[in-house]
Amino acid sequence: MTRIAIVGAGMAGLSALDALSKHGHVVTLFDKSRGSGGRMASKKVGDASWDMGAQFIRAHDAEFMRTLKQWQVQGWVGEWKVTPHMIDAEGIRLSDDEVTRYVGVSRMTALSRQLLVPASEFFPSTRIVSCQRTDSEWLLTDENNQHYGPFDSLIINTPPQQALPLLDNSHLAAAIKDVKMLPCWTLLLAFSKPVESPVNAAFVHDSAIAWLARNNSKPQRDATETWVIQANHAWSQEQVDAPREDVLQALEQAFFTALGVQGYAVSEHWLHRWLYAVPTTPLDAGALFDANRQLAVCGDWCLRGTLEGAWLSGQQAASYF
């Protein structure tokens, strides 16, 4: 039985937890956020709720497909029966996309809560600022100078920029330091009446927006009319430090323009800046391992910038222990 700490309870960390707990390891997770899920986040404001980060899960890998099907049987995910539209300068048309998309029910974070269950302990709202390796053990310290451990092994599941300060001089830093992540401004809107449009989801071009989706068209959501609007990465990068009010207005306007509708009063809204949204050049390594220190690093940026990539990365990290 090994005592393993995982810093970061995103999909990769939760995937590692799943594999490690099946092998009888005792796993403790830490996350700086109030809950688990990382970029698989949901947001609630008043009666409105949205999936604020990852919008859906799709599978290419056979093992991940089996896992998704199992989650579906367990009632943790449902199929989102949607055919996205394409919106560009020429107008709105249905795409020929036949992808099967799954979503956590009744929100994306609900899946992360289920995946967290095997943890021996979970410390939310705990930002780890230092990981120190003694001769054979790891000791962790948070920003309030609280200490945790000892642990036999450590898995770091954070974006690369947040992993670097935690590596305690491991040689893994060299592989990580050049991995770049792009930002994504995300606007969440709620309306007191349905927006009349055939569109439930769309890939958008020729606009500040890359993706928009009617959140309440997903299975088991509240009935409140809610939309998720994600800016494209180039626009988000250009506007990364722009005043929030300017970003909000620009994206709201781009949303109405894209759908070709007007006259809808926004009842609730939320604007979020994902600073580390997607990796530009993932490592294609799966995960990284420093055997001398019993340290693994995982995350979507080690493989592919999707939930599937994160899950596979977490499985690989767990396989080292």
Q: Which residues contact 90 (CB under 8 A, 6 or more apart)?
A: none
Q: In this structure, are strands 85-88 and 91-94 parallel, antiparallel, or unpaired?
A: antiparallel
- Tell the residue number behind the tokens 């979020």, with chain if given: 272
Minimum distance of ligand FAD from residue 37's CB (angstroms)? 7
Whichever of 224 and 315 has its CB closer to ligand FAD, that residue is 315
CB of 193 to ligand FAD, least distance (A): 26
Q: Which is nearer to ligand FAD, 234 or 261 (CB)?
A: 234
DSSP 120-161: SEEE-S--EEEEEE-SS-EEEEETT--EEEEESEEEE-S-HH
* Interatomic CA distance for residues 266 and 257, integer angstroms: 15
Q: How far apart are CA 228 and CA 248, in angstroms?
A: 13
Residue closest to 123 by CA, chosen among 148, 97, 103: 148
Measured from the CB atom, the residue of 64 and 321 that comes closer to ligand FAD is: 64
Q: Closest distance between ligand FAD and the C-beta of residue 223, in Å?
A: 23
In the complex, the residues that contact ligand FAD under the rule CB under 6 A are 7-13, 30-33, 38-40, 53-57, 127-128, 157-159, 162, 184, 186, 230, 274, 277-278, 299-300, 305-310
Query: Between 153 and 158, whose beta carbon lies closer to ligand FAD?
Result: 158
CB of 39 to ligand FAD, least distance (A): 3
* CB nearer to ligand FAD: pick between 158 and 200: 158
Cβ proximity of 5 and 28 under 8 Å: yes
Which CB, 45 or 164, lies closer to ligand FAD?
164
Give the contacts of 143 (CB within 8 A, at least 6 positions apart): 127, 129
Shortest approach of ligand FAD to residue 312 CB, angstroms? Answer: 10
Q: What is the closest distance, in whole angstroms, from the C-beta atom of residue 56 to ligand FAD in the complex?
A: 5
